[in-house]
Amino acid sequence: MPANQLLDPDLQAQCMTLCATWRKVLAVPTVTQAISDLCRMLKSRCEAGATIYPQDPFRALRTLNPSDIKVVILGQDPYHGPGQAQGLAFSVPDDMARPPSLRNIFLEIDREFSDTILAAPARNDLTRWATQGVLLLNTVLTVEDGKPASHAKMGWEVVTDALIEAVATDSAPKVFMLWGNHAQAKRSLIENRGQHLILMANHPSPLSARRPPVPFLGCDHFMQANEWLLQQNRQPIDWKE
């Protein structure tokens, strides 16, 4: 059994281990119902022998309260290969091969900060970003082995939309990085809810990273985010740490 299989489909129990701020968001009746439906689905799929990733779907929430968040990066759903998914969007363990989208993210960071003496990060695990205030949130939090988007449109979007809206409603200024059409569809949950910077570009996937209308490679999002955070009297992110 893979180490990162979702061994416990009881999402309600996992929600209770989160901080009070997140629990309040997840206690809204429509979200509670969605989580209940997801529990039944996950239990059924596990009983049918499906391998489901990651072990901790709510890991992105465990490090941060909404007021601690400085930057939000939205992904779609977890990686669907053995050992990849960590519960943090775009992140994989250091001993895994670097996925193409993450490779392009690091290429862009290296380009933007080329005047520094540091090379692009050697580590694939983005926990170091999360501890600095970067919420790495997928809009769907589980997936079956070898089946991308297998848990899309099953209720996770209700849960993560509520989380995105709660983060945007919190008064602390934040940067939202929306890469690709899927992430940009969440813009309405963010606009007019606080003093935030919304940055949009194509997805870092090799299929779109260099294409118009706004190529990811060359977008300058990481530098723009840090400059804006400084203007808001918030500590910038060390993207190369």
Residues with catalytic function? 77
Closest C-alpha to 72, from 213, 170, 146? 170
Can you spell out the DSSP letters for 101-162? HHHHHHHHHHHHTTTSSPPSPS---THHHHTTTEEEEESS--EETTBTTTTTTSSHHHHHHH
Closest C-alpha to 79, from 51, 46, 38, 41? 51
Closest C-alpha to 207, from 187, 181, 240? 181
Q: How far is CA 96 from CA 76, 77, 86, in A?
A: 20, 18, 11
The span from the CA of 206 to the CA of 211, in Å, is 9
Cβ burial 172-205 (10 Å sphere, 16+ → b, else e):
bbbbbbbbbebbbebeebbeebeebbbbbbbbbe
